[in-house]
Amino acid sequence: MKKLLLCSLMFLAGCASSQENTFSPDSPEGLYLMGYKEFKQTDYPKAIENFDQVEQLFPYSPWAERAQIMMAYSYYLQNEYTDALLALDRFLQLHPGNRNVPYALYLKALCYFEQMSDPLREQEMSAKADASFKELLVRFPKSVYANDAKEKLIAIKNHLAAKELAVGRYYQKNEDYIAAMNRFQSAINGWPDSNQVPEAYYRLAVCYKALGMTKQMGQVRKKLKEKFPESVWTKRANKI
């Protein structure tokens, strides 16, 4: 993932490798290249300072556009996702037609993705990551980030379904079967092709059995066998 981000940023270096000492620090080029040199040396706070100066002192320079992206990526590498998101939103608002918009959308989605919490906790960041990756795919379906975005969406889908199962298991453990069944059914309906669905079917069948609803238990077990004949959860269901 980071390799993809770095490759996409190569053009932003401009002539930094060969001419980084030829520009005055009073020029947008000079400030940018100073920041890029510090970025390469992983001195991200110093790099951010210079990139920010480019944007503040020369807001209409093409270098300011590059600096905004580099500043956002520097924040991202420091796990300062809030600041990275602010920089990206500013870039997207000011330069909606810029060729780097796909990159900005991708990095924005990653900022949310990196903040996804344990399934037992609030999933606000998961939902935002899901929406951001989907926006990228809708607007730029053929971008170089599309394949990774699709993979991330699968991971998010499984993560959100895991949240429902985690809560459902809690209710099941406490014998609150109706509440547990609602959660398991929510996982099945909300993310029908996630890797959590076989377990959701199994636990739904267990809850039906606990409530003495053997007919419904049999129907769920049949669906589980039809949809996931090789799953370990199907084998467990057959032993109910």
- Expressed in angstroms, the distance from the first to the final Cα of the chain is 43
Task: Report whether 37 contacts 19 (CB < 8 A).
Answer: no
- Write out the two tokens for 108: 């924005």
Amino acid residing at 18? S
Specify the long-range contacts of residues 209-216, CB closer than 8 Å, at least 24 apart.
Answer: 209/240, 210/175, 210/177, 211/177
- Write out the two tokens for 116: 């996804």
Q: Which helix H or strand E contains 127, and what residues bound it?
A: helix 124-139
Task: Report whether 228 contacts 192 (CB < 8 A).
Answer: no
- Write out the two tokens for 237: 């269901």
Gap between the Cα atoms of 41 and 22, Å rounded: 19
Cα angle 151, 121, 202 (rounded to 5 degrees) comes to: 70
Q: What average pLDDT values come out for the chain (240 residues) when binned by 10 residues? A: 58 48 72 92 95 92 92 96 96 92 96 82 86 97 96 94 94 97 96 95 97 95 94 91
pTM of the predicted structure, to 2 decimals: 0.82
Gap between the Cα atoms of 174 and 154, Å rounded: 31
Non-local (6+) Cβ contacts of 94 within 8 A are: 68
Task: Report whether 208 contacts 186 (CB < 8 A).
Answer: no
Task: Report whether 72 contacts 107 (CB < 8 A).
Answer: yes
Cα angle 220, 225, 230 (rounded to 5 degrees) comes to: 140
What is the model's pLDDT at position 26?
76
Gap between the Cα atoms of 88 and 66, Å rounded: 11
